[in-house]
Amino acid sequence: MSKLPASQVKILVVDDERSMREFLEIMLRKEGYWVQTAANGKEALDLIRKNFFDLVITDIRMEPVGGLEVLKRCKRVSPQTVVIIISAYASTETAVAAMNEGAYDYLPKPFNIEEMRAVIRNALETRGGEEDRPARPGDGPLHFGCLIGESPAMRKVYELIQRVAATSSNVLVTGESGTGKELVAKAIHRQSPRRDQPFVVVNCGGVPESLIESELFGYRKGAFTGATTSRKGLVEAAQGGTLFLDEIGELSPVLQVKLLRLVQDKTIKMIGDTVDISVDVRIISATNRDLEKMVIEGTFREDLFYRLNVLPIRIPPLRDRGEDVPILAQHFLNKFCRQFGKDIRKISSYAMDILNHYDFPGNVRELEHIIERGVALESSSIVLPDSLTLATYKKIRTDSLLPGRPTIPPEGMNLDEYLAEIEKKILQQALQQTQGVKFKAAELLSISFRSFRYRLIKYGLATEEE
């Protein structure tokens, strides 16, 4: 079934406040939707029994029939209908109750028009998109091995993986910490002819320098104090398969020389032995450091770099693949719900909006930890912003708003005017940082929405009608 044009989408607006009904009706008609209104819940139920609606937008506090009852009855009569709850009396309890009854989303009044448009658009796409989406295994997001994402940047990575997997050349995977470099290495191995052979991981930064040589190459009995038996190294353990050298930039110059021999000649020598051992391993290396810069600085061998960097793959940071944030967040939500035995159905639109506007310096790993904490802390059936451990909120540095260090001129100054100027700048930057969403701007400044709105009107940044 193809997606319906806006003119064929039927929306019911239910609110006992006339001005709100008229406002939503005008806004939705401008978008091209077919709109009908109801002044209370009882009137809405009569319309729902007689007509099919693609979307219902209902206030929650109405007499004699409230919005939750409208939601329940609507879902009973027409499960396909999407319901959005709006309320001037927003609370966690009512949001949870609405979500438990099947509401798509819960928006507090007054809401931002663009935000409401986006929620409606997403709700209708969710409803009508089931048959339009390309088929995927398990009806989930696009997977490539352990990797998840549908952004153009990740599709390029998938294409590169497929190209390099068929070869036996060395691969260097680069990218910031937390982007999934080891997952890329595993995907290459699983796509390669070596898939049935070992995949051995060596964390070059996690093994003490005094031990890493013996870990890599092994040792003969009596090679050093404590070597009571001979032991094979990780290179030999990867025979016929793939050796993944993570954090390759952490290797000391001495170990770089010994690794060069392995990369160049495919031979190793155990500590305490004089015999060369031939090995057949494919080497995939990874680093979050700039190896080219290290070569210039003389801290990484140029000949080793070029032998490792035969086939380079760069993993984009999460901030450059924003389309994947909701997909990854939902994947981690499902994962930790299974792990913790919880029944959390979704991430609220406000919580998701926070994630969508966050830079993720820790990339996918950080997102995974945020969702894990959210699921662990959440006691309801929907992840709300308070459960995200709000390090995810961007904070405004007020010192960056000050026009230089203030000095008092000889003739004096008006302190109230100066502070008012600073306060106005902070309000403007908060609005800019939250794309004009006043609720979020108030939250960013840790003040109530009422107080934020009062200040906007005070400084001429808003009117009483807005």
Who contacts 113 (Cβ-Cβ below 8 Å, separation ≥6)?
27
Whether residues 207 and 281 fall in one domain: yes
Q: How many CB atoms lie within 10 A of CB 229?
A: 8
For residue 64, whether the previous peptide bond is cis, meaning omega lies within 30 degrees of 0, is: yes
Q: Which pLDDT score is estimated for 394?
A: 45
Whether residues 157 and 301 fall in one domain: yes
- The token duo for 349 is 């639109």
Helix (H) or strand (E) holding 297: helix 291-297
Instruction: Return the exposure string of 434-443: e unless at least 16 CB atoms fall within 10 Å of the residue's CB, then b.
Output: beebbbbbbb
Whether residues 350 and 286 fall in one domain: no
* CATH for 200: 3.40.50.300
Q: What secondary structure does DSSP assign to 232-290, as a single string?
A: E-HHHHTTTSEEEEETGGG--HHHHHHHHHHHHHSEEE-BT---EEE---EEEEEESS-
Whether residues 86 and 102 fall in one domain: yes
For residue 403, whether the previous peptide bond is cis, meaning omega lies within 30 degrees of 0, is: no
Q: Is the pLDDT of residue 269 over 70?
A: yes
Last residue of a domain, one of 339, 373, 392: 392
Q: How many CB atoms lie within 10 A of CB 286?
A: 26
Query: What does the pLDDT look like over 137-156, one tens digit per residue?
Result: 333 445 566 788 888 899 88
- The token duo for 393 is 């909120």
Q: What angle do CA 173, 370, 426 make, to 5 degrees?
A: 105
Whether residues 221 and 160 fall in one domain: yes
Query: What does the pLDDT look like over 412-427, one tens digit per residue?
Result: 777 777 778 788 888 8
Q: Rounded to the nearest 5°, which phi and psi values hold at 263?
A: -65, -40
Percent of the chain predicted with pLDDT > 70 = 88
Select the highest-mean-pLDDT range: 3-7, 117-121, 159-163.
159-163
d(CA 419, CA 421): 5
Whether residues 304 and 171 fall in one domain: yes
Whether residues 206 and 293 fall in one domain: yes
d(CA 244, CA 79): 50
Q: Is the pLDDT of residue 136 over 70?
A: no
Q: Do the beta carbons of residue 402 and residue 366 sit within 8 Å?
A: no
Query: What does the pLDDT look like over 292-313, one tens digit per residue?
Result: 999 999 999 999 999 999 999 9
Q: Rounded to the nearest 5°, which phi and psi values hold at 165?
A: -60, -35
Instruction: Compute the average pLDDT of residues 356-385.
Output: 87
d(CA 148, CA 361): 19
In a domain, 93, yes or no: yes
**Amino acid letter, residue 160:** L
- The token duo for 392 is 């995810």
Q: Which pLDDT score is estimated for 365?
A: 92
d(CA 314, CA 64): 60
- The beta-strand segments (E) located in 358-446 are 382-383
Whether residues 309 and 173 fall in one domain: yes
Whether residues 244 and 342 fall in one domain: no
Between 28 and 389, the higher pLDDT residue: 28
In terms of Cβ atoms closer than 10 Å to its own Cβ (0-12, 13-18, 19+), residue 297 is: exposed
Select the highest-mean-pLDDT range: 31-45, 116-130, 402-416.
31-45
Parallel/antiparallel/unpaired status of strands 55-59 and 82-87: parallel
Its sign, for the CA torsion 307, 310, 313, 314, is positive
Domain of 44? 6-128
Last residue of a domain, one of 356, 377, 392: 392
* CATH for 404: 1.10.10
What is the pTM assigned to this prediction? Answer: 0.58
Total structural domains within the chain: 4
Whether residues 343 and 304 fall in one domain: no
Categorise residue 389: left if φ over 0, alpha if ψ from -120 to 50, beta otherwise. left
- The beta-strand segments (E) located in 288-361 are 311-314, 346-347
Whether residues 213 and 361 fall in one domain: no
Structural Rg of the chain based on CA atoms: 29
- The token duo for 119 is 């929620």
In a domain, 325, yes or no: yes
Query: For the chain, what is the mean pLDDT?
Result: 83
Last residue of a domain, one of 392, 413, 435: 392
Q: Which pLDDT score is estimated for 127?
A: 59
